[in-house]
Amino acid sequence: MPRESPFKITLTPAEERELQHRASKYTLPYFQVLRAKMILLAAQSLSNDQIALRLDTRREVVSMWRQRFFRQRLRGLDELPRSGRPRAFPPRTGRAD
């Protein structure tokens, strides 16, 4: 039986505009687009299971981002600093000719 999330998402017009912008942006990193889509679907009262099925991800992942958005709003969708040593080299930006 599907579980119902206690974290009901209701978006302000500004939040909805920002999430729509992120969800439709092809130049953003995939994880940012996916998080925006998760929250937009959650705002449509879809369950975590339904969202996970639509976006081909795990229910636990949807649940985590729904909860973070509920508590911290848009700021909660940002990447948190990670512990450990920083990267020694910048990521590759293109092909060297």
d(CA 22, CA 36): 6
What's the CA gap between 67 and 97, in Å, rounded?
Answer: 45
Residue 67: inside a domain, yes or no? yes
Asked if the structure places residue 38 within a domain, the reply is yes
Separation of alpha carbons 5 and 66, rounded Å? 9
Q: Write out the DSSP string of 59-70.
A: HHHHHHHHHHHH
For residue 20, the enclosing domain spans 13-77
Helices (H) and strands (E) in the chain, counts: 4, 0
Asked, for residue 48, whether it belongs to a domain, the answer is: yes
> Is residue 89 situated within a structural domain?
no
What's the domain count of the chain? 1
Per-residue pLDDT at 60: 95
Q: Is residue 63 part of a domain?
A: yes
Assessment of whether the complete model's pTM goes beyond 0.85: no
- pLDDT per residue, tens digit, the chain (97 aa), is 557 888 999 999 999 999 999 999 989 899 999 999 999 999 999 999 999 999 999 999 999 999 999 999 988 888 777 787 776 776 666 666 5
Q: Which of 3, 78, 97 is nearest to 46 (CA)?
A: 3
Nearest to 62 by CA among 70, 76, 52: 52
